[in-house]
Amino acid sequence: MKALKAVGLALAVLVLIDGMVAGDEEGIRRQASPPAGPVPVILDTDIGGDIDDTWALLMLLGCPQVDLKLIVTAVDDTEAKTKLVAKMLEKVGRTDIPIGTGVNTSDRKINQAKWLGDYDLSDYPGTVIKDGVKATVDLIRDSADRITLLVIGPQTNIREALRRDPTIADKARVVAMAGSIEIGYNGRKRRDAEYNVARDVEAARTVFAAPWDITIAPLDVCGTLILGGDRYVRVKESEQPRAVTVVQNYDLWTDRHRHPEGSSSVLFDTVAAYLTFDDALCEMRTVKLAVDDKGRTVPAESGRPVRCALSWKDRDAFENLLVRSLTGS
């Protein structure tokens, strides 16, 4: 692993978690009893941009290992994104999950507007919370179990949650699709400024500095994950509402024409979704990371230990799990 160059990189000053052993390659795990049942998860998502968030959400809804407590929309037009989530949950019969609207940063049109159509949120039978950041803070604070905070977009909402109540880091852990350690986009052997970090560098630095356990799925493991062949066909031809919904959204997504007819786009976020409840299919390593001014996650002795999925032990098994989660009963 390349050493950090001292010149030209302005690094965040990061706070280490109490009791960590630096460089521990077995991972960073707070001493706490695991929940007796499914893992309680808050999903923070910038759904409506890249289509992989949609695959990740519908995957989670088909994973019995996960108890999805709250979904919060992130960055750009979060109100439109809340409508998108609401319509998806209604289509798959999961309006029991509350939806929170996160920090609105622009009026950029979502890339799944054709599928959303003129959906009216006032007709949604479930719970919609205007202040999704407050809902996140309250749920973490009030939970008897440690919450897993799954962040698959820029970490803008999480920075605001920590500003409002820094103590949430004592009762939650973070799993994120974030960063690039040794491999960048399209499998290139270089460290890229990964979008979720680069879009809001200060938010990423704030999240990395908080004293909670952090596990990430960087581009190293998820940057070439495309579902194709028979597995894609099984999803496309399934009548299970989760599969139908993901395929409909993919086919109406504004960037669909950039991808082959018989395969998905890169499904970055599905790997982070998997890491909320298991990591046995990935090669895990603890790396001390800092975030530079360009949004690159740089290995550094002064960085904080982060548990990273860097490659696959069994990618086939993961793809099979993904297909089952979308097509199973």
pLDDT digits (tens, 9 = 90+) for 268-324: 999 999 999 999 999 999 999 999 999 999 999 999 999 999 999 999 999 999 999
Alpha helices in the chain (DSSP H): 52-61, 78-91, 113-116, 132-142, 156-164, 195-198, 201-209, 219-222, 229-237, 241-252, 268-275, 315-327
Rounded Cα distance, 141 and 48, in Å = 28
DSSP annotation of 240: S
Whether the CB-CB separation of 255 and 48 falls below 8 Å is answered with no
The whole-number pLDDT of residue 151 equals 99
The whole-number pLDDT of residue 16 equals 33
Encoded tokens for 188: 């290139």
Residue (of 276, 212, 216) closest to 38 by Cα position: 276
Domain-by-domain residue ranges, the chain? 39-327
pLDDT digits (tens, 9 = 90+) for 306-321: 999 999 999 999 999 9
Tell me the Ramachandran region of residue 295: left when phi exceeds 0, alpha when psi lies from -120 to 50, beta otherwise: left
The whole-number pLDDT of residue 22 equals 36
Rounded Cα distance, 249 and 235, in Å = 13
- Spell out, as residue ranges, where the chain has pLDDT lower than 70: 1-36
The whole-number pLDDT of residue 36 equals 64
Hey, is 329 helix, strand or coil? coil
Hey, is 185 helix, strand or coil? helix
Encoded tokens for 137: 């803070």
Query: Across the chain, which distance is largest between two alpha carbons, in Å?
Result: 56
Q: What are phi and psi of 287, to 5 degrees?
A: -125, 135
pTM score, whole prediction:
0.90
Residue (of 185, 132, 175) closest to 150 by Cα position: 175
- 39-327: CATH homologous superfamily? Ribonucleoside hydrolase-like (3.90.245.10)
The whole-number pLDDT of residue 329 equals 87
pLDDT digits (tens, 9 = 90+) for 130-164: 999 999 999 999 999 999 999 999 999 999 999 99
